[in-house]
Structure 1
């Protein structure tokens, strides 16, 4: 089973390169660079579902918060990261 984690897209690099488009995401205070090759419609401020370094889909903020809460309830989310709250 694969688990995609929601994260907030902070910025986009290589905007005009469809195949090598990347972006900076934030999840619980942790920042990473991910591939946006599958999401031409993604823009900064969107929440995206990320798996293995690839943003797979744009999701709503409500859906992202729902996943954060579920992970918190099941103990799968680091308490320190949750104290910082979901990315704003």
Structure 2
């Protein structure tokens, strides 16, 4: 099962404005934000799927989704493992 998970934007790459460092449950990864019409800024939340930000979400919605995902267990752990193993360079 593939899930979209919320992550908080930590920083935008100075060299590549289409790449952001995002934190998801303590894991930080580079993701592509090029699909978003309005680019996020640090502190905002995005919904991530396979290394791409699909949309911006508000913090309350992001935290509710994270709480739900933590509650369903294995699928969430599998998605975090996939995020840890992913790389955008």
The bucket for the TM-score relative to the shorter chain is 0.7 to 0.9
Match of 1:25 in 2: 22
Partner of 1:9: 9
Q: Could you state the TM-score of these two structures normalised by the residue count of structure 2?
A: 0.73
Q: Which residue matches 1:39?
A: 36
Q: Number of aligned pairs?
A: 74
What is residue 50 of structure 2 aligned with on the other side? 52
Deviation at residue 31 of structure 1 after TM alignment: 0.6
**TM-score scaled by length of structure 1:** 0.74
Residue segments in structure 1 that go unaligned for 5+ positions in a row: 16-20, 82-88
| Structure having the larger proportion of residues in helix | 2
Q: Which structure 2 segments of 5+ residues have no match?
A: 81-89
